[in-house]
Amino acid sequence: MGQNNLYSREMIKQEFNQPKLFKLLVENTFFHIEKINMTFKKNTTIPLYQDDTEYVYYICDGIASVSITDEVFEFKGPSEFIGLSDSMINTNNEDFKVTTITETIIWRFLKSDVIAKIMSTQEGYLFHYLSMLDQYSLFTKKLMTMKKTHKERVFIALQEVGKKFGTPTNRSDYVKIPPVFTRNLIAQYVGIGLTKLSDSLLALQEEDLIQMTSKREIILEIESLI
């Protein structure tokens, strides 16, 4: 793909991102669709399917994990949709689960209404198309990561979580992994056991790629590229 095409795709993603899709969905000048504001407590399963009805959620605040057959596939945070395109990766709805890891505030839509509205406009089609591209890109990246060593996979996972959810430290180029990302949760995300995770963290610390405090907090430098 040439530089111009890459630039065009980045420009399109800026214009057709998830917050703008949310704005399109709540716009009532045409094709009004109902929405419900909901709050889920920590460690609660968010139902994507209920009584033969499929839902789409938009996160206003909080973090949720997306799991396939009990393995954490990704984390969703503020200004992101759940259930729009990510559930299409898995064909068995029972194996696809979304669980809050903090208290999470969301807007809930009927998926049928969402698809009908976004497909009724050229802009909506682009929103959905880019959402699908991003999801399959993430899926491909996950598969490629599985070929790396445990230590490399742990470091990539920490970089991803740090870039997206890391909290500031006294150094502008370093972030701290929030405590809600427990060792168990990180191990599930990487796809390894707790013992291998501990060994990998120690190896990364010895190589000065991460720092671990006395409170078991993980601090790392956010690299420009993962």
Per the CB < 8 A criterion, the answer to whether 99 and 67 are in contact is yes
Per the CB < 8 A criterion, the answer to whether 210 and 217 are in contact is no
Dihedral sign of CA atoms 202, 208, 209, 214 in order: positive
- Terminal alpha carbon distance of the chain: 20
- 149 by DSSP, 3-state: which? coil
- 144 by DSSP, 3-state: which? helix
pLDDT of residue 110: 94
| 150-221 placed in CATH 2.60.320.10 | no
Per the CB < 8 A criterion, the answer to whether 66 and 189 are in contact is no
Q: What is the value of pTM for the model shown?
A: 0.84
Task: Report d(CA 26, CA 24) in Å as an integer.
Answer: 6
Per-residue pLDDT of the chain (226 residues), as tens digits, is: 444 454 455 666 666 688 888 988 898 888 889 999 999 999 999 998 888 899 999 999 999 999 887 788 899 999 999 988 755 554 455 678 899 999 999 999 999 999 888 888 877 777 767 777 777 777 677 777 778 899 999 999 999 999 999 999 888 889 999 999 999 999 999 999 999 999 999 999 999 999 998 888 999 987 743 4
Largest CA distance in the chain: 58
Task: Report d(CA 5, CA 48) in Å as an integer.
Answer: 35
List the one residue out of 213, 197, 194, 166 whose CA is nearest residue 63: 166
**Which part of the chain is CATH 1.10.10.10?**
150-221
pLDDT of residue 7: 43
pLDDT of residue 225: 37
Write down the CATH superfamily of domain 3-140: Jelly Rolls (2.60.120.10)
- 141 by DSSP, 3-state: which? helix
pLDDT of residue 141: 75
